[in-house]
Structure 1
């Protein structure tokens, strides 16, 4: 997994970088086919903005979050990405295969 962290109008500190890496590992536990995550941290006047582009096999997910504190923005961002990953994982999962197996089992028991 590639992890890129970029800062606009702020310097990304080592503690911010480590915090993002911990959160990225949390995201990876749901979906292990993660290819690349690009985090952009930005300060706009008094608001802190965190956004991320998440590249998984066959899809790109995007989320952004605003907060008064950068760490709070990163937390909100990872929560949004977490929900998107779970939703994407459910879409990718093949439900038809399970239904076909149930139909075959049902016809075998009636014979």
Structure 2
């Protein structure tokens, strides 16, 4: 997983970088196909904003959150990413297990 961490109007400290890295390990725990993650942390007056763009195999996911505290924004960001990645994973497994009503279903009904 490649991580690109940038800051707009805020300096990214090593503590922030380590915090983001430790939180993003939660995403790879659920889904191994994470190719690239871009995280943008920005400050606008009283709003601390965190944005993430995750490139999965075959899909891109974008999430943004705002809060008064930067660490709270990062926590909310990872929670949203986790939910969306789980939803994406469930959809891919549902499509794989779903049959299209072919001849196998008709033979099962006759038996």
Q: What is the CA-CA distance between 1:88 and the residue it aligns to?
A: 0.4
Q: Distance in 2 between matches of 1:21 and 1:8?
A: 18
Range that drifts further, 33-42 or 86-95: 86-95
How well do the aligned residues superpose, as a CA RMSD in angstroms? Answer: 1.9
Gaps of 5+ in 1: none
Q: Distance in 2 between matches of 1:73 and 1:40?
A: 11
Q: Runs (4+) of structure 1 moved beyond 6 Å?
A: none
What does residue 60 of structure 1 align with? 60
What does residue 41 of structure 1 align with? 41
TM-score using structure 2 length? 0.87
Q: What is the CA-CA distance between 1:96 and the residue it aligns to?
A: 1.7
Instruction: Give the one of 96, 99, 102 matched to 2:98.
Output: 96
Q: Distance in 2 between matches of 1:2 and 1:54?
A: 10
Superposition pairs of residues 6-85 of structure 1, within 5 angstroms: 6-85=6-85
Q: How many residues align?
A: 105
**1:13-39, CA deviations, whole angstroms, 9 ceiling, x for partnerless residues?**
001000000111111111100000000
Gaps of 5+ in 2: none
**1:42-90, CA deviations, whole angstroms, 9 ceiling, x for partnerless residues?**
0000110000000000000000000110000000000000000000001
Q: Distance in 2 between matches of 1:95 and 1:62?
A: 27
